[in-house]
Amino acid sequence: MKYDEMDRNGLLELEKTLKEQYEAYKAMGLKLDMSRGKPSNEQLDLSMGMLDTLHSLSDYMASNNIDVRNYGCLDGLPEAKRLMADVMETRPENVIIFCDSSLNIMYDLISKGMTHGVMGSTPWMKLDKVKFLCPVPGYDRHFAITEYFGIEMINIPMLSDGPDMDMIEELVKDEAVKGIWCVPKYSNPTGTVYSDEVVNRFAWLKPAAEDFRIYWDNAYNVHHLDFDRIHDIPEILELCEKAGNPDLVYKFGSFSKISFSGSSIAALATSENNIADVLGQMKFQTIGHNKINQLRHARFFRDKKTVMEHMKKHAKIMKPKFDCVQEVLDRDLSGTGTGNWTRPEGGYFISFDSMEGCAKKIVQLMKEAGVTLTNAGATFPYGKDPEDRNIRLAPSFVTVKEIRQAMEVFTTVVRLVSVEKLLEK
Amino acid sequence: MKYDEMDRNGLLELEKTLKEQYEAYKAMGLKLDMSRGKPSNEQLDLSMGMLDTLHSLSDYMASNNIDVRNYGCLDGLPEAKRLMADVMETRPENVIIFCDSSLNIMYDLISKGMTHGVMGSTPWMKLDKVKFLCPVPGYDRHFAITEYFGIEMINIPMLSDGPDMDMIEELVKDEAVKGIWCVPKYSNPTGTVYSDEVVNRFAWLKPAAEDFRIYWDNAYNVHHLDFDRIHDIPEILELCEKAGNPDLVYKFGSFSKISFSGSSIAALATSENNIADVLGQMKFQTIGHNKINQLRHARFFRDKKTVMEHMKKHAKIMKPKFDCVQEVLDRDLSGTGTGNWTRPEGGYFISFDSMEGCAKKIVQLMKEAGVTLTNAGATFPYGKDPEDRNIRLAPSFVTVKEIRQAMEVFTTVVRLVSVEKLLEK
């Protein structure tokens, strides 16, 4: 029964039951963290063999006859570029390899935009106003970067097939709009896969600002949950070329959720013009990134095929966790009208929308019961969810058993907070 | 005999002989690179055991119970901080660990100065003029960073015990002066070790700008050539504290010339206030740097004592190379008045000053004979050596035998260019 169709007495009774349940959960003293997209230990174990690919007796010469132990090779080893290009569905000459994770690359490109503009444009620090478009709900660390640099962020609603393209096509007519954050496949946190039409409209975009770029964070490109139902999206760099927009996109890829999180390799894939522009600036910053780690990755993951086999093992670990979340949500919340949630087929997150004005309270009560979720509001620029509805669920790090516990607390809390909200009226 | 005391006929005869010698060297088809401070393969071999410290069967938990394979730990592993603090002569709480090499850290701090100022000061991009003091000759990559950001660079003469402190104390009265580049021990390229007095005067400096920092790049801290004659300098952070100037210095350290160049770990050591300021900004940039590499370093190099033993092995490889450079210079150029050079007891470089107006020509002729040296001018801001005298010699990468060859070409070229210069008059 939909809760908003219940009478006051029914709601009061339900509130009492839910409160008792909640107190019982609280008494269990849980301590679970479902706040971040951290791989589980089991997933990390999958890549341990990579550490054996380079040891004291190894050959440490890269295919271009560079000793990986010494300085040099600003753009990355040829074998690392080949691997990344294969996974990112582009050509090695369109790739630069970076270290650790792709977040650093995005930060760095925004930072360079501020101080030097993009490809010789006016540095953004010299402009009165710089704006970025932010599909919401989205990735908090994207929004944190643009906020840190004082860039004004504009919310773009995320629809079922990607962000609202009508709105985007209208807004990029403003020359102050310099970029948009996108996670095109298994979006953080909704799991949305951009449709072919959306990707095409992005490629054909005609922004007023010549230094506008699409920040295409394809973080979950090969992170399917079920390899019998994998989603592919059109390759955007190629489409941009066809559309006469070759320099429009910075595409990001990372092994952080393939090998070791934060100790992997990451890459920028973009047009040859952009590559030249970025390398021309990078040379002041570094002599080259960790090539030992690049060679280690190239030797362990030879090509996309190897990576896909490896990702199937990740999926085997991840799928039961996502299934468990869905199962408890379906069982406990279906038909109550207390929330809607997504059913991603890849990535790391499930997005939950509560009744208006309930998300903060739900996250707070969860915390008091020992289950840490991502802060309510975090999925919006400035941490402000205008309707206080969105909650990101991140089931990767905990076990299925823990997820079941956590989700049972969650559905109780959602129902309790919803009932209380309805009783306020 | 000093060449400038020779008569014209003597000079012409000498020119003829030297030209013949030079042509003979050219005919040898040498191909040697003495342009950069790259360790030799033999030196890199010293650290191969480090690659065995973490393999698929290893314990990958850090001392703070963090799994190094997963996200987190923005400031670095406790054991990496302890190791770095020990080598950098400071406390672990004053250290942040970064990846790859220290150049990245310096770039990043200047970049943050441009966009966000230092500890809340006005962003430098918003100021009409920002200036940096640059002891010369100095490190080209330092100057390249400040040039990239459009910062005006002011040459400060390097004296025998460090940069000209009278001049520095005067210039920092200008609020537009926001920093100074220093390599305090075995300076690049002169090998100068700053005297106690110079280090003290730095600590007691009273710059007009509150966001002025000393960029103290102690890259060659433990890179002695002879461990019976090692040089120590006063620890600047401690002195700054005593002087009531606790936040004045950013100190940099790196394992790039201890373990693997560009694939090592690096660190910033500074006051607690500066650490808080930097971490408060870093959190937008990264979730944390490569901890697998940090743990590998901490397990292989346990403390400063281990590092010192390791550096003795480096010294055994480096010392004969430096000796060879000195030997050929002494033998061929002493008393000719064609140049002066330094006699470093550590670091990676020897600085050579030719007669005025000869350096470019010398480097050019060396190149034509197959020996690449660092570009003349590179040791000065904007690549402009006002007297065209300074040449940096980098003997680390090549063998002693190759150094002997290269230096014999060098002394021939120096004499030839000097004689031609004298004949012009």
- CB contacts of A149 in chain B (<8 Å) are 115
Distance CA B192, CA B215 (A): 17
Find which of B33, B60, B99, B122 to mutate to test the A interface (most A CBs within 10 Å of its CB): B99
pTM of the entire predicted model: 0.97
**A59-302 CATH fold:** Aspartate Aminotransferase; domain 2 (3.40.640)
- Which residue is associated with the tokens 């090692």? B230
- CB contacts of B52 in chain A (<8 Å) are 55-56
| Least Cα separation, residue A65 to chain B (angstroms) | 13
| Least Cα separation, residue A51 to chain B (angstroms) | 5
Beta strands in A121-247 (DSSP E): 131-136, 152-159, 162-163, 177-182, 213-217
C-alpha distance across the termini of chain B, in Å = 19
- Token couple for A420: 């209380």
Distance CA B310, CA B314 (A): 7
Average pLDDT, chain A: 97
pLDDT of residue A236: 98
CB A65: neighbour CB atoms within 10 A? 6
- CB contacts of B55 in chain A (<8 Å) are 51-52, 55
CB A59: neighbour CB atoms within 10 A? 9
A66-95: pLDDT as tens digits: 999 999 999 999 999 999 999 999 999 999
Distance CA A165, CA A192 (A): 14
CA distances from B263 to A295, B240, B294, B317 (A): 11, 31, 11, 21
Count of residues in chain A: 425
- Work out the angle at residue B335's Cα, subtended by the Cα atoms of residues B334 and B336, and round it to the nearest 5 degrees: 95
Size of interface A-B (CB pairs under 8 A): 158
Q: Does B101 touch chain A (CB under 8 A)?
A: yes
pLDDT of residue A116: 98
- Token couple for B127: 């100021």
Superfamily of domain B3-44+309-424: Aspartate Aminotransferase, domain 1 (3.90.1150.10)
Percent of chain A with pLDDT over 90: 98
- CB contacts of A100 in chain B (<8 Å) are 99, 286, 288-290
- Work out the angle at residue B78's Cα, subtended by the Cα atoms of residues B77 and B81, and round it to the nearest 5 degrees: 85
Distance CA B291, CA B80 (A): 9
Sign of CA pseudo-dihedral A369, A370, A374, A375: positive
Q: Does A69 touch chain B (CB under 8 A)?
A: yes
Judged by phi (left if over 0) then psi (alpha if -120 to 50, else beta), residue B288 lies in left
Q: Does B51 touch chain A (CB under 8 A)?
A: yes
pLDDT of residue B100: 86
Residue extents of the structural domains in chain B: 3-44+309-424, 60-301
Q: Does B1 touch chain A (CB under 8 A)?
A: no
Does residue A425 carry a pLDDT above 90? no
B284 closest CB neighbour out of A58, A71, A145: A145
- Token couple for B97: 């660990």
A37-56: pLDDT as tens digits: 999 999 999 999 999 999 99
pLDDT of residue A127: 98
Please report the DSSP string for B197-234 in residue order: HHHHHHHT---S-TT-EEEEE-TTTT-BS-TTS-----
CB A335: neighbour CB atoms within 10 A? 9
C-beta pairs of B173-176 under 8 Å, 24+ apart in sequence: B173/B207, B173/B208, B174/B131, B174/B208, B175/B208, B175/B209, B176/B127, B176/B128, B176/B129, B176/B130, B176/B131, B176/B152, B176/B209
Q: Are strands B213-217 and A152-159 parallel, antiparallel or unpaired?
A: unpaired
Taking only the tens of pLDDT, chain B with its 425 residues reads 899 999 999 999 999 999 999 999 999 999 999 999 999 999 999 999 999 999 998 899 999 999 999 999 999 999 999 999 999 999 999 999 999 889 999 999 999 999 999 999 999 999 999 999 999 999 999 999 999 999 999 999 999 999 999 999 999 999 999 999 999 999 999 999 999 999 999 999 999 999 999 999 999 999 999 999 999 999 999 999 999 999 999 999 999 999 999 999 999 999 999 999 999 999 999 999 999 999 999 999 999 999 999 999 999 999 999 999 999 999 999 999 999 999 999 999 999 999 999 999 999 999 999 999 999 999 999 999 999 999 999 999 999 999 999 999 999 999 999 999 999 98
CB burial of residue B147 (10 Å; 0-12, 13-18, 19+): middle
Residues 6+ apart with CB under 8 A from A188: A37, A138, A139, A219, A220, A347, A348, A349, A392
φ, ψ for residue B151, nearest 5 deg: -85, 130
Contact B115 A100 (CB under 8 A): no
Q: Are strands B390-393 and A162-163 parallel, antiparallel or unpaired?
A: unpaired
- Token couple for B221: 């801290």
Please report the DSSP string for A82-126 in residue order: HHHHHHTTS-GGGEEEEEE-HHHHHHHHHHHHHHH-STTPPPGGG
User: Cα dihedral angle (A63, A67, A71, A77), rounded to 10 degrees?
Assistant: 20
Comparing alpha-carbon positions, the chain B residue that sits nearest to A128 is: B126
Residues 6+ apart with CB under 8 A from B387: B356, B357
A347-365: pLDDT as tens digits: 999 999 999 999 999 999 9
Q: Which H or E run contains B249? A: strand B249-254
Contact B51 A54 (CB under 8 A): yes
pLDDT level of residue A186 (50, 70, 90 thresholds): very high
Q: Are strands A95-100 and A131-136 parallel, antiparallel or unpaired?
A: unpaired
Judged by phi (left if over 0) then psi (alpha if -120 to 50, else beta), residue A75 lies in alpha
pLDDT of residue A100: 86
A11-36: pLDDT as tens digits: 999 999 999 999 999 999 999 999 99
ipTM: 0.96
pLDDT of residue A1: 83
Reduce the DSSP state of residue A67 to 3 states and report it: strand
Closest by CA position to A329, among listed A415, A266, A242, A204 = A415
Closest by CA position to A358, among listed A380, A390, A403 = A390
| Least Cα separation, residue A114 to chain B (angstroms) | 7
Please report the DSSP string for A265-323 in residue order: EEEEE--HHHHHHHHHHHTTT-S---HHHHHHHHHHS-SHHHHHHHHHHHHHHHHHHHH
pLDDT of residue A135: 98
Closest by CA position to A105, among listed A257, A282, A349 = A282
Q: Are strands B264-269 and B249-254 parallel, antiparallel or unpaired?
A: antiparallel
Distance of CA A338 to the CA centre of its chain: 26
Closest by CA position to A398, among listed A26, A22, A37 = A37
- CB contacts of A396 in chain B (<8 Å) are none
Distance CA A371, CA A404 (A): 12
Contact A99 B99 (CB under 8 A): yes
A241-276: pLDDT as tens digits: 999 999 999 999 999 999 999 999 999 999 999 999
Distance CA B394, CA B322 (A): 9
Architecture of the domain whose range is B60-301: 3-Layer(aba) Sandwich (3.40)
Residues 6+ apart with CB under 8 A from B150: B130
Q: Report whether A235 contacts A271 (CB < 8 A).
A: no
